[in-house]
Structure 1
Amino acid sequence: MGEVTMTLEDVAHIFGLPIDGEPVSGWTDSSSDFLQSQSIVIFGHEPVVSSSSKSYIKLGWVPRIRDAESLDTKESIKRYVRCQIFYLLCSTLFTDKSTAYVHAKYLPLLRDFEQIHTYSWGSACLAHLYRALSCASWFDTKEMDSSLNLLFVWA
């Protein structure tokens, strides 16, 4: 048998994510002003943030504002789709140990609606999983944070 590992092709087949394209990277400001301004531009609303860290958005807030969109204009449809993508990114692809709050670092990637599909989301998802597996191998680790759905389906 030998060793096996998950590949980019596996991620593309399991999640249907693009593995070619622009890297999922960028500069992130962790200030509350950044979070407020990005959320207003992307979602059209001020976010509900964590009381302990102002760079984390309450995950339950995202579907509430998504479902409140009227979908009667092109811009409201874009906000709805951005909400859905952000929710999927944070609840399925790039999960962490917190199930209630998500980091705002993905917001800049959703700002330009026409660019969202050009990113290599599959590569970022696989890198996130590899990092989580590496951290989970540390002797003092008690939990793993990553897309376990991907790992379970692959296994």
Structure 2
Amino acid sequence: MGFYGVLMCGSRRYDNHLITALVERWRHETHTFHFRCGEATITLQDISIIWGLPIDGEPIIGIDVSHRVEEWQHICLNLLGFTPLTSHFKGGHLSITALYEYCMAARIDDNSPDIDVVKYTHCVALMIIGGIMVPDYQGESVRLIFLQLLRDIERIRSYSWGSAVLAFLYRELCNATRIEKAIISGPLFILQVWVWSRITFVNLDMNGLSLIVPQNEFEKNISYAPYGAR
């Protein structure tokens, strides 16, 4: 699907002071940070290099259809392999906790039917999208509109996920500059990695800060990993 680079980068606690300092220097007219040395911004190339997401291909668009909870439950059963509880839905959002609990309880192995593997993969993809790539303020739910893009698993990689992530980050940075705003959402982890790599003096201690915890021999060889993981 093209999301493995995001998984390999893992996740770290945000440096709230660093993010706040960046928001204070963000100009929504130009989508750039204004520093003493000039302007700079995170670009599509950075998204591709740090996370390894595709930046070419079809745009991420869709129709945000309003369904009753019963209809969403039926859609989730067909595409995800389980029926979430009513309490797991909030409008067109599904709790990431429900996805996580299902994935931890499911048993997928070499003998599992292909349809079960595909449904399980849909769940994992939704967790990556809603938890890391385009998270909400709490990072606790994911918009079910993304299910439209996951129906054909062979087509998922053909979408320009990197463009969607960058556009979402720009929008959230612009919203955060409004005087009445006190919080910010979006893929802030990739912004933090960008700052670490571009403005190195703010990264006081990288010793022992491994972004990957190898789980097997395959993952111990990270020479193919995106820059964010390395």
TM-score, L = length of structure 2 = 0.63
Deviation at 1:52, TM superposition (A): 7.7
One-letter amino acid of the counterpart of residue 5, structure 1: T
Greater share of helix? 1
* CA displacement, residues 14-63 of structure 1 (integer Å, 9 cap, x when unaligned): 11100001111111212125422331221021223557833221110112
Aligned twin of 2:59: 23
Q: Distance in 2 between matches of 1:134 and 1:49?
A: 34
- Are 1:137 and 2:174 counterparts? no
Bigger shift: 138-147 or 78-87?
78-87
Counting only pairs closer than 5 Å after superposition, residues 113-132 of structure 1 correspond to structure 2 as 113-132=153-172
Q: Distance in 1 between matches of 2:86 and 2:151?
A: 19
Aligned-residue CA RMSD in angstroms? 1.7
Aligned twin of 1:5: 41
- Are 1:65 and 2:105 counterparts? no
Q: Distance in 1 between matches of 2:92 and 2:156?
A: 22
One-letter amino acid of the counterpart of residue 44, structure 1: G
- Are 1:39 and 2:76 counterparts? yes
One-letter amino acid of the counterpart of residue 149, structure 1: F
Q: Give the direction of change, closer, same or farther, for the CA distance of 1:134–1:12 in structure 2 (3 Å limit).
A: same
The one of 86, 91, 96 equivalent to 1:54 is 91
Q: Share of identical aligned residues, percent?
A: 32
Does the CA-based 8 Å contact 1:56-1:101 persist in structure 2?
A: yes
Deviation at 1:100, TM superposition (A): 2.4
Could you say which structure has the larger radius of gyration?
A: 2
Q: Give the direction of change, closer, same or farther, for the CA distance of 1:52–1:76 in structure 2 (3 Å limit).
A: closer
Aligned twin of 1:146: 186
The one of 137, 153, 157 equivalent to 1:97 is 137
Give unmatched runs, 5+ long, in structure 1: none
Aligned twin of 2:221: none
Count of residues in correspondence between the two structures: 155
Aligned twin of 2:124: 84
Q: Give the direction of change, closer, same or farther, for the CA distance of 1:87–1:13 in structure 2 (3 Å limit).
A: same
Give unmatched runs, 5+ long, in structure 2: 1-36, 196-230
Q: Distance in 1 between matches of 2:49 and 2:164?
A: 15
* Paired residue secondary structure (1:78): helix
